[in-house]
Structure 1
Amino acid sequence: MNYKIEKVKKSFSLQAENFENNDMNFSKQEYLDYIIKKTDVKKTDCVLEVAAGTCVCGRSLASGVTSVTCLDATPEMLIVGKRAAEDKKISNISFVEGIAEQLPFAEGVFDIVMTRLTFHHFTEMRKPFEEMNRVLKAGGKLVIIDMEAAKKELREIEDYIETLRDNSHVKNRSKDEFLSLYKEYGYEMLVTESAQIPVELSAWMNLTKTQTEIKRKITLQMENEIAGLGQTGFFPYKKNNRIYFDQRWLMMIGKKG
């Protein structure tokens, strides 16, 4: 197991218990329902969720498909997801430990391959994309949802703060970087959307159990930006006397040729 994967596993083993906490908007059902609607699953579909974490997406769409396979590198995440699936009596779901760069599946076995908030943890984009493409059937859909990089001049500071909070973060990617891979592999783009997801700063840092000193450092940078002193790429704002920022999410769905 390489060093980077070990950092990811360490980070997400800490996050597993509270990963679906309602304090974090990205786990709310309204966003999951929207993803499911745009994916337009069919009852005959076999779905793979890559770097699935607790497989919150896969569990949400399981009732509308034939099967869901959830793959993640962090056993603690899979345990939480499996327990949640058992509580909901979801029987058409399986949990597999593995990494996105080396998927343990044959070519062309899934109708839908999806991954959410994962590419910013990958050291490079091509290998995970190539692997997801490999296991997807011709005519199948590849669904990628991830954070969009800040504009060029703010990318470095944005990634610096992201990495302070979670050292398994590598860097956010731009829409053009994603779309160039879809194009290279011959996909027809069905959906290319951007959305802003409000995130409360303290909840965001608490999820990764960020150390107190680092919390103070990040909070100070956000407060300075609100006061007009510098930029972070997060564009923070105050609401109900708390600091928020809007994550920029990309949703891309391509049909494999």
Structure 2
Amino acid sequence: MATHHDHVKQQFGEQANAYLTSKVHAQGPDLQYLSNLLANYPDAQLLDMGCGAGHVSFIAAQHVKHVIAYDLSDEMLSVVSQTAKERGLNNLTTVQGYAEQQPFADSQFDIVASRYSAHHWHDVGKSLRELHRITKPNGKLIIMDVVSPGHPVLDIWLQTIEALRDTSHVRDYTPGEWLTFLTEAGFTVNNIARHRLTLSFDTWVKRMRTPTRLVEAIRAYQVTAASDTQNYFELQPDGSFTTDMMVIETSKIV
């Protein structure tokens, strides 16, 4: 029987290059936020947790001393390594492993950043405790991810279409859940920025190679959604929709 980690590796490994060229992943106000922040830390050691195709790593490598791109997928890491070489980013290295059990030393990193990864973690609480362990005292953890609106009707609609699209999806957490997870792991929240993220339906399902029968199920679920749900997610006739994205900047409590 395949484990959750097996599903993650399969889903993303075969599509590594698609994530490198994805506009959703290659741009956004969250990346600009990160770039502005990292400009103040030229001597930092940074971990890109769940690096995917490396967009956070590439930006970070332009500002900080050293970047480790960390991911479960060997194929993703190969794409990151090759792209870094092509871009002349010689201060970037890759490491393969799990979010829940990391091969790094205590207090190794000045900054840990994670983007569009946490909703795939099998155990988000355990993963955050590991990130707390490897972050230096007064170091930063920055989480960038899609978040659920929190209202039960809106929440179940979002989680359902996410799970139908992607078997490796665990949960888009609510802002309240994130605050609980982070404080319980030992971080203090310094800043929260929120914006809306528009997803083109066609590229959204093609990027994940969602089977036709599940694409049809998603479309049927969208069409039958209540009007307030359709309005909140700005659902379009072609299935495209808009959801919430959050950047949470935290520090390790000493």
Alpha carbons 2:189, 2:250 under 8 Å: kept: yes
Q: Which residue of 1 aligns with 2:156?
A: 156
Q: Determine if the alignment matches structure 1 residue 249 to structure 2 residue 248.
A: no
Q: Provide the secondary structure at the position in 2 that maps to 1:167.
A: coil
- The offset of 1:29, in angstroms, is 6.0
- In 1: Cα distance, 2:93 partner to 2:20 partner: 19
Amino acid paired to 2:99:
A
Q: Provide the secondary structure at the position in 1 that maps to 2:21.
A: coil
Amino acid paired to 2:4:
K
- The offset of 1:95, in angstroms, is 0.4
Alpha carbons 2:143, 2:248 under 8 Å: kept: yes
- Aligned-residue sequence identity (percent) comes to 25
- The offset of 1:158, in angstroms, is 2.0
- In 2: Cα distance, 1:178 partner to 1:151 partner: 11
Q: Which residue of 2 aligns with 1:37?
A: 36
- The offset of 1:39, in angstroms, is 5.0
Deviation track 1:88-114 (CA, whole Å, cap 9, x = no partner) reads 011000001111111101100100011
Count of aligned pairs: 252
Alpha carbons 2:199, 2:242 under 8 Å: kept: yes
- In 2: Cα distance, 1:121 partner to 1:41 partner: 30
- The offset of 1:10, in angstroms, is 0.6
- In 2: Cα distance, 1:206 partner to 1:2 partner: 23
Matches within 5 A, 1:6-85: 6-22=6-22, 24-28=23-27, 31-39=30-38, 41-85=40-84
TM-score (norm 1): 0.89
Q: Which residue of 2 aligns with 1:197?
A: 197
CA-based RMSD: 2.3
Q: Which residue of 2 aligns with 1:87?
A: 86
Is 183-192 or 202-211 further displaced after alignment?
Answer: 183-192
Alpha carbons 2:109, 2:139 under 8 Å: kept: yes
Structure 1: tracts of 5 or more residues without a match: none
- The offset of 1:229, in angstroms, is 6.2
- In 2: Cα distance, 1:110 partner to 1:174 partner: 27
Q: Which residue of 1 aligns with 2:117?
A: 118
Q: Which residue of 1 aligns with 2:233?
A: 235
Alpha carbons 1:234, 1:245 under 8 Å: kept: no
Q: Which residue of 2 aligns with 1:131?
A: 130
After superposition, the Cα gap between the structure-2 partners of 1:254 and 1:120, relative to the gap in structure 1 and judged at 3 Å, is same
Alpha carbons 1:157, 1:233 under 8 Å: kept: no
Q: Which residue of 2 aligns with 1:220?
A: 220
- The offset of 1:230, in angstroms, is 8.2
After superposition, the Cα gap between the structure-2 partners of 1:30 and 1:150, relative to the gap in structure 1 and judged at 3 Å, is closer
Alpha carbons 2:234, 2:242 under 8 Å: kept: yes
- In 1: Cα distance, 2:213 partner to 2:86 partner: 38
Q: Provide the secondary structure at the position in 1 that maps to 2:204.
A: helix
Is 244-253 or 103-112 further displaced after alignment?
Answer: 244-253
TM-score (norm 2): 0.90
- The offset of 1:18, in angstroms, is 0.4
Q: Determine if the alignment matches structure 1 residue 145 to structure 2 residue 144.
A: yes
